[in-house]
């Protein structure tokens, strides 16, 4: 490692069971009880679960029907995105009192670069503690945080002492921390990839680190190169205050499975209208239309088409979605349809990474 590159102090703040916690805060009778946001009805899918519900195995993306089997005392509450957005704005206002380098990932989590902060505090750990305390005192919710030298390690660390805790991984601790980490804890490595890694004898960060870049690229494609660097503590992505939207989508889950394409077209018309509305509101257009299909057996399929020009008009979006619908015969009845537009006109071509930029160096400093 060289000692002449800039160092960064990154905090990843993640609200604890955000949607469920907001519901419990607004309705004190729900505090301490197992609740699920969304998931009501025979076809509902859970958006979030309180920690009390998680003890029973209830989690997001699970069907309400299964959740109630796992936790018969489960209480379902409706989603309220207007309220979540209101609370999220208050939390972000606190972030901005410490730094302008705030990169929201969603309503309930964000990266903060506090290398140079408005409080003049040299300790990122103390800043994280102060931010978490302020969120609790001023908003009424708990948050967890991860603090380290880059976004990847900070995000992994924020999950380490949840809920209502934080974890600092100092520069000199990064490599040992990553080597000891279960491969399932690596942000960006999903269940399918983890299973593939298990089959190849990769169970921990140390196992991953023992593989060459060529081996990882051969077995995991483009992601293999990323795995090679992140397990070595190398992740050069900066905190971007204005994240560029990469796609825009809308989808619908149906109360009854659809087997007729005529009914599917009717649903697609409404979905395309919603996508067009969101595009208009965001003032963007895109070239790639993707049709998402979830069948009654929960298998998922996507079909995409890239046009030679940017589109934002409902009629063109719908026509392309229809074409994708008829592209292949349905293998089963359908429970969900979605349309997304990507390859947006807001995207910028990434600058090629030079050899020098592939090496990230972090000096020892007060965390």
Catalytic residues: 109
Asked if residue 14 lies in contact with residue 159, where contact means CB atoms within 8 angstroms, the answer is yes
Burial grade of 303 (CB within 10 A; 0-12, 13-18, 19 or more): middle
Separation between Cα atoms, residue 32 and residue 52, nearest integer Å: 7
Strand partners of residue 145: 13, 166
Asked if residue 11 lies in contact with residue 153, where contact means CB atoms within 8 angstroms, the answer is no
Here the tokens at position 239 are 């905190």
Q: Which of 196, 174, 327, 353 is nearest to 261 (CA)?
A: 327
Strand partners of residue 125: none
Separation between Cα atoms, residue 41 and residue 34, nearest integer Å: 17
Spatial neighbors of 320 by CB under 8 A, at least 6 apart, are 289, 305, 307, 311
Separation between Cα atoms, residue 113 and residue 357, nearest integer Å: 19
Here the tokens at position 175 are 């490599």
Helix (H) or strand (E) holding 146, with range, is strand 143-148
Asked if residue 133 lies in contact with residue 18, where contact means CB atoms within 8 angstroms, the answer is no
Altogether, the residues listed in the chain come to a count of 367
Angle between helices 222-230 and 213-220 (to 10 degrees): 140
Asked if residue 166 lies in contact with residue 128, where contact means CB atoms within 8 angstroms, the answer is yes
Residue 12 has a CB neighbour count (10 Å cut-off) of 29
Q: Which of 78, 17, 75, 23 is nearest to 50 (CA)?
A: 17
Spatial neighbors of 231 by CB under 8 A, at least 6 apart, are 178, 179, 186, 205, 208, 209
């Amino acid at each position: 490692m060289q000692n002449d590159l800039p160092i960064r102090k990154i905090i990843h703040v993640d609200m604890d069971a955000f949607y469920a916690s907001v519901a419990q805060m607004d309705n004190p009778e729900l505090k301490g009880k197992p609740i699920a946001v969304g998931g009501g009805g025979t076809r509902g899918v859970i958006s979030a679960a309180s920690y009390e519900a998680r003890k029973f195995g209830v989690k997001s993306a699970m069907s309400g029907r299964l959740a109630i089997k796992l936790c018969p005392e489960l209480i379902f509450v409706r989603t309220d995105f207007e309220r979540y957005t209101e609370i999220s704005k208050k939390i972000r206002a606190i972030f901005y009192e410490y730094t302008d380098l705030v990169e929201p990932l969603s309503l309930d989590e964000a990266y903060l670069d506090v290398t140079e902060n408005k409080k003049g505090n040299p300790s990122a750990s103390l800043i994280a503690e102060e931010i978490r305390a302020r969120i609790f005192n001023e908003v009424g919710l708990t948050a967890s945080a991860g603090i380290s030298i880059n976004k990847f390690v900070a995000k992994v660390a924020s999950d380490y002492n949840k809920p209502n805790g934080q974890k600092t991984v100092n520069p000199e601790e990064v490599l040992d921390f990553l080597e000891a980490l279960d491969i399932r804890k690596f942000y960006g490595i999903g269940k399918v990839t983890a299973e593939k890694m298990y089959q190849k004898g990769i169970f921990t960060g140390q196992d991953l680190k023992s593989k060459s870049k060529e081996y990882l690229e051969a077995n995991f494609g483009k992601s293999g190169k990323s795995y090679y660097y992140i397990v070595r503590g190398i992740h050069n992505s900066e905190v971007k205050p204005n994240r560029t939207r990469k796609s825009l989508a809308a989808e619908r889950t149906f109360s009854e499975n659809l087997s007729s394409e005529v009914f599917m077209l009717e649903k697609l018309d409404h979905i395309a209208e919603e996508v067009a509305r969101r595009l208009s509101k965001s003032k963007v257009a895109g070239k790639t239309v993707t049709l998402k299909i979830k069948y009654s057996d929960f298998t998922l399929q996507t079909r995409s088409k890239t046009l030679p020009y940017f589109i934002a008009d409902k009629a063109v979006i719908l026509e392309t979605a229809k074409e994708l619908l008829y592209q292949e015969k349905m293998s089963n009845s359908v429970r969900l349809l979605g349309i997304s537009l990507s390859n947006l006109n807001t995207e910028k071509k990434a600058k090629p990474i030079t050899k020098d930029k592939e090496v990230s160096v972090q000096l020892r400093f007060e965390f």
